[in-house]
Structure 1
């Protein structure tokens, strides 16, 4: 009876560790699609940018700032200029005296 209990305990602990490892590898990061012909990032077989466990995109050896993606390197992508402020309202007509 003790052998069965020990075997059950070993099996249960092994399954618990395996489930924890599998859960730790799952990620809630959004997939970033790259252009296979023009990407400066490392891409997997699906054309998705490869990222490290911290969410940082992996750059290839020929990466240049012109190849930057907004999702990976927002500081390197040119920002759109803010819209110009609206023109001031015209002055009121002079009052008749």
Structure 2
């Protein structure tokens, strides 16, 4: 009774099985499952690399924007210092 529920074994005297249009021979369900798992693993690695790359680019853009703002602030500060220096350096000398 138990034997009737089990699938027949793949003995070497049986003809090879064709799987659809791929023409793959003698591939059992484990190979198909693990093949799909390896494909999913590769897709997962690609998605993870893509995510890391986009985070890197975003961080780089934020860093560049901060750097630009800092340079703009420095130049504004320098211009103000020059203006103050020019304002206070000009003192007409009074001669008696």
TM-score (norm 1): 0.34
Structure showing greater relative contact order (alpha-carbon pairs closer than 8 Å, 6 or more residues apart): 1
Of Structure 1 and Structure 2, the greater helix share is in 2
Q: TM (normalized to structure 2)?
A: 0.34
Structure with the higher fraction of residues in strand conformation: 2
